[in-house]
Amino acid sequence: LLSYRHAYHAGNFADVLKHIVAVDILEYLCKKQKAFSYIDTHAGAGLYHLRSEHGQKLEEYRNGIAKLTLTDWPELKSYLSIVRQSNSNDELTFYPGSPLIAKHFLRPQDKAWLYELHPSDFTSLSSHTADTHGRMTCFKEDGFKGLLAQLPPLSRRAFVLIDPPYEIKHDYEKVFDTLNKAYQKFSTGCYALWYPVVQRSTIDRLENQFRNSKIRDIQRFELGLSGDSEARGMSASGVIVINPSWGLYNRMSTLLPKLCQTLAGDNGHFRCDILVDE
Ligand SMILES: C[S@@+](CC[C@H](N)C(=O)[O-])C[C@H]1O[C@@H](n2cnc3c(N)ncnc32)[C@H](O)[C@@H]1O
């Protein structure tokens, strides 16, 4: 299958939400000297050229990262600085994917495992992480299986990002099953699961699976450009976080209304919920 190419979507409103949450968690993990592991089950290409044939086709980044400036968003300083550092000047030409965002936070004691199945994205990912002296290892393997093989990590502290393309409907079940198994192996890890809202009923089902599970301390952050609709395509996207960084909920509660107004105007919506208590 593998027809999904993230280059078309890099830097869009969904990436912005996902990467803001990822930066918050990584920053939190860096507060302690003790090593942590980063596992990215669907890592993508690492870096995206926004003005390439792919990036330029849909120009989704224009209604995403391109709308956020450091002057207006001091609270997003870390995230925006990483994007800035991926560009050689003030112009927005490149957008860093989750592995390069994580790379920014990795200290000598930390390690990362990145999974990517698409051959050309894998090549790009490998080249963008080659200078990490073995701290980041890339696998051209299935990330769902890879994750379960890595847990529990030796470090006993980890951030796991699960960001599949949901090309096959089965992925909605697979994400829950995998997270449930991962949690049984390693219940103290921090997990972030990205999801698109294409059909609301699918997300309601996913949400209920989490609510009815044995997993504790689950929060959800969602941002939509328009209301739910039966029209084709993604109207919103969200991130479900297990064992979130301390204070994430409060920071997101302040951030999401402002982000929603900037990226979606009056048609937008956001959700900020505690799905399961600590
Ligand atoms: C949404 S993109 C990842 C974006 C990346 N996490 C980021 O935030 O920059 C999903 C990626 O998963 C890859 N992929 C699809 N199925 C996979 C699987 N079973 N295991 C690993 N990678 C997979 C796709 O080729 C695609 O590059």
pTM across the whole model? 0.97
Q: What is the Å distance from ligand 1's center to 74 Cα? A: 30
Q: Is the pLDDT of residue 55 over 90?
A: no
pLDDT at 58 (0 to 100): 76
- Residue having the nearest C-alpha atom to atom 4 of ligand 1: 44
Q: Is the pLDDT of residue 100 over 90?
A: yes
- Residue having the nearest C-alpha atom to atom 6 of ligand 1: 43
Is 171 a catalytic site residue? no
Q: What is the Å distance from ligand 1's center to 165 Cα? A: 6
The sheet that has 136-139: what strands, in order across it?
136-139, 111-115, 37-40, 158-162, 190-197, 236-242, 218-224, 269-276
Phi, psi of 160 (to 5 degrees): -115, 120
Q: pLDDT tier at 32 (50, 70, 90 boundaries)?
A: very high
Using a pLDDT cut of 90, give the percent of the chain over it: 87
Instruction: State the number of CA atoms in the 13 A half-sphere of 192 facing the CB.
Output: 29
Tell me the residue type at 209: Q
Q: What is the Å distance from ligand 1's center to 5 Cα? A: 8
43 lines ligand 1 (CB under 6 A): yes
Q: What is the mean pLDDT of residues 116-129?
A: 97
Q: Are 39 and 161 a contacting pair, CB within 8 Å?
A: yes
- Residue having the nearest C-alpha atom to atom 9 of ligand 1: 97
Query: Which of 40, 163, 204, 228 does the annotation list as catalytic?
Result: 163
In 41-139, which ranges are continuous DSSP H helix?
A: 53-58, 77-85, 98-105, 119-128
Q: What is the Å distance from ligand 1's center to 187 Cα? A: 24
Q: Is the pLDDT of residue 1 over 70?
A: no
Beta-bridge partners for 136: 112
Q: pLDDT tier at 15 (50, 70, 90 boundaries)?
A: very high
